[in-house]
Structure 1
């Protein structure tokens, strides 16, 4: 599989602050990658480095298996890392014509990209008449004008209402389904779970996880348990070969983490055989949010 972008030990320091700390990962063609982390975790700095607007302190990156220098490679990249910046009193179409002129590319794709972002019927309207969501969609259209091999988006749904968020996510899914590689920075777990195939989790500039989204979430799940005798239940869980660990919550519900697949029916029978009657038994799968919180908690 073709490697579009490779980061090797990338580090960026601003004085005593280390924004990006020895970051390494690869972006493979045809996937949707999410860089996931809290605000201030180094996501935007990382994107700034690979787009050549921020100089790294150490480490390196290369585009397209190193076959192109950064200047030439960026001609094959579409990116939005700042708020949309268009002329308010010009139409969407005229703004995109200007972008084409600045980038030295043909205007033939304007209608195509406007249709992709569902703005073709509003192409004659002034930019100032657009909602925030429409402005963001026009920015995506602008980034697609050069028919890039990868689209880079920094917090694309920031500040949008639920409808605007849904529209942007649907556009990302549509573009991805057509084979476009996407690199998306987000602090929203929901966004990454719904849109991305792969995720890089970072916190304070340090990589905590890199790989497929479904593998990050590929735990064996857990049981929620309660008994009239929780003390005996906890002894039972401590000695159970399928229970990795457990913790008791404020409502006396015990969360027992599984170390391997196990059925609720079998656990219920085993506890009953030891004279422990369960008054509550629910089997659950860990969400991406729970996985993320576990990762960041361990750091």
Structure 2
């Protein structure tokens, strides 16, 4: 039996103030954030739909029952650095607050739990991970059926274990792992457990079709537009005294400058570009200036898209 510390990464319990701050810091993808919280809340606790249906229609609609029959599975797909993992690791906080849950636990499947390709290992690890999450919500409902706690099982880089079985070169052990994953997802849906399964992937087309079909929603993440880059910079550079015109120009410079080309990702902006700008100003014992901003933007090299060449 694999220990929990080997199965999962950093387990987080929500509500959590640090997660709340991380969630708020994800600017530029507000439409995804808002929809994800609503979708996830309904998947974890479908009873809220019954209450809505009774209030607005006076009965339980067949349409509501159709929604409740879906697997509590969401896919976050898109390029590297577009905020998928950061959102997946922080969205539990607004979900817990929205549902009024005292505890919602995130279980991120550890990369080490992917197995070493040994016969039966992948299947065993996936089964153990799902069984642990299942056991954590066995007493999630009170005697009136109300949810007292819930869980999120996060599988990052999901294409590594949920890749399509249509691939001719796929190892039989990997096929068995995908089969185990599908069975586990179906068992959670059948038993109506208050567990949300989140798959993050850079290659949604690589996911097994059977898993993709089970997803209640696939959220697609793209690199920020010029307007979104401007929004991120405006937020993060507030208080520097840098004008809107300079920020807008920097946002354009941080976009694709040739064809084909690519602009900065959200993580490029938050984790590389702005921190470098701050460190450079600190090193020279000066304020962050418009000139420094534009110079840095002009020379910045964005992270290349997944699957592209450095050349």
Superposition TM-score, scaled by structure 1 size: 0.38
| Structure with the higher helix share, 1 or 2 | 2
| Structure with the higher strand share, 1 or 2 | 1
Higher relative contact order structure (alpha carbons within 8 Å, sequence separation ≥ 6): 2
Superposition TM-score, scaled by structure 2 size: 0.37
